[in-house]
Amino acid sequence: DVYEGDARLPDGRIFKQSWIDHRPCIAVVPVNPEGRLVLIRQYRHATGGMIVEIPAGNMDRDNETVEACVQRELAEEVGFRAGRLIRLFEGYLVPGYCNEYMYFYLALDLEPASLPGDEDEYIRVMAVSFTEARRMIRDQQIVDAKTALGILMAREYLEGCG
């Protein structure tokens, strides 16, 4: 939902503000058994075309847990289920005008599990190494901030474990 109206600062001043009320959401960094990232190329009308992303989605089902949403989005967008989920981070995406809160996960021990995708999505799946993904971020082939953050956090976690 989109709103515009008066907002009050902690010191009592009032100003005009536009804001978006958004459901919580998830983003997941799937890593296949070969150690490659499973990414998606998704059509995003607001950006004017296809962009490379990690799977993500809204928690829009009644009583759905964060982990259940992660598993559902994995199955819908890349055709896998994670044997192991690791929470990497959670926080606000654009707090200047939206309360969208995102949970970031690393998905390991992937096994095939497919669900039909959403009607309004056009997605192509791709797998890349962490080295390729870092180059894609550097060369602006990945321009989605949640994707860059998720990849960097997943890499840091995995390097710390091995």
Catalytically annotated residues: 119
Chain position carrying tokens 């901030």: 145
Strand partners, 2: 20
CA distances from 42 to 22, 98, 137 (A): 21, 22, 16
Among 54, 62, 66, smallest CA distance to 24 is for: 66
Tell how far CA 73 is from the center of its chain. Answer: 10
Tokens representing 61 are 């089902």
